Structure 1
Amino acid sequence: MAVQAQYPANALFLHRSEAEMKTVDYWQDQSAAAAFFANGGAGNPRKRGGNQWRWWRLLAVEDQSQTQSSAFVPSSSSSPLISSLLSDDLTAQINLQRDEIDRFLRSQADQLRMTLTQTRHRHYRSLLAAAEEAAARRLREKDAEVERATRRGAKLEGRLTRLRSELMAWQAKALSDQAAAASLHAQLQQAAAAAAAAGPVHGEKNEPPADDAESAHIDPARAEPSSKACRACHARPLSVVLMPCRHLCLCSDCDAAALPCPVCRSARTGSVQVLLS
């Protein structure tokens, strides 16, 4: 980077040597004397003043040209002073420009740092907003799942409660049916014991007296139905008590056919399997 220092002519003119100042005074005196003798020592003062002014302008122009040339080509006596002044001024200018460049760079660095900080903060805020939105969406989904699971659990609990109540009702019914079956079994045992006690004594036959020969005739193909045979098939033993009439009148095979009660012909609602010894 090239730095060019410009100085006004009057600044360099002030630092000229005494020899140059004496030379200027000498030329001024010579010009005044030449003007005086050119006018014969007397003459018109107005003309003399005009001639002096013209000579003075010529000398001023010449002096200005000499001053400008001396600014670029300094004499040997004044060159150290001018060099020192130039070096000091150049150093000051360089330091000033360096300080300005440093201030400019610092301001640009601060502005860049601020811009980067703001950009980073905006990026962080956008990331945080996206994370919060994703978390809120997941929470809403989980809340919906929890609500669905809660409703399903309530439905299952209600169904379980109904099943438990039905189970308890069936257990109570089974217990009552068991008690009825036990009572019927006891009644059957008592009836069988009473029938056995009312049988023939000392080998006598329990038959009514025959009035005539025809009434005394017994058909060998006729078979009296047994009291312990099924009332439907008359072949298999009794083993099923019908509800609600509580008649012991069917076997297990006929019970599977879902027939009405053969004794009272009433519709049945259930049956209980019993074991007769």
Structure 2
Amino acid sequence: MAVEHPHMNHFSPQILISNNREMVDQGNKNVYEYGMNQMDSGLTYSIPISRKRSRESSSFDASEFLCQNNNAQFVNGNEFDSQNKGIFTFLGQDMSMQIYQQQLEIDRFIANHTEKVRLAIQVTRQRNSMRLIAAAQEGIKNKLRSKDDEIVKMSKLNYALEEKVKSLNVENQIWQQMAQSNEATANVLRLNLQQLLTQIQQQQQQQQTANDVEDNESCCGSNYEEEHHGNNNGTTTIDNNGDTLNRLCRNCGIVESCVLLLPCRHLCVCSTCESSINFCPICKSLKNATLHVNMS
């Protein structure tokens, strides 16, 4: 970055314009005598001055002398060596140190400005880097937060499924126990039913045996009693001497009675009419069983 340094006029107008010829001549003599050399700071002045002096000029135009500077260059310089460098003088005054100080101030100003710009660029870069890092961190945090939420959700779902499996296992055990208990109950009921059926069969056999014994001991006098009841009701009287007529079947009246009805134990039907009747013809009781009697 180039900084234009304003030209400063270190000379008073009274010095620049003077009617004293000797002072002007002495100044020109000093310029020719000492010359102008390059400074250590890199600032170069090339001032071409005519070696011919005009006898007719009564004054020296110092402003025209200063405007003849046509080549100025800024170069870094940090030291001033009085042994190797010449001395820039004008009108008997040494201007080298002032020019060198001004050059140092310019260099210092440029260095400070450069440092400020560098620091500003560095701060801007750091700020942009921090923004990028913050944005990346925010995106990563959002992703991690979503993953954490998903993990928590899956953990809850897994816990619910585990509890469901446990409840199903408990329910399965309960059903197994109920099935075992029902099976045991069914076995007990089956055994009781078998025992009950056995007892019923035994009772039926005992009852059948008792009925057989009672049938063998029974008499058929009830048939004759019914005949006497029939005589009292106005029916035909049968003589006691006709035993064969009294033993005829009460259903058909043709064949001799040979079947004993149970449980009333009336011997009143024949073998042919046994299957066609359900009630006793004498007492009208329900027939449960029959027993054939050999009358020969």
| TM-score after normalising by structure 1 | 0.44
| TM-score after normalising by structure 2 | 0.41
Larger radius of gyration: 2
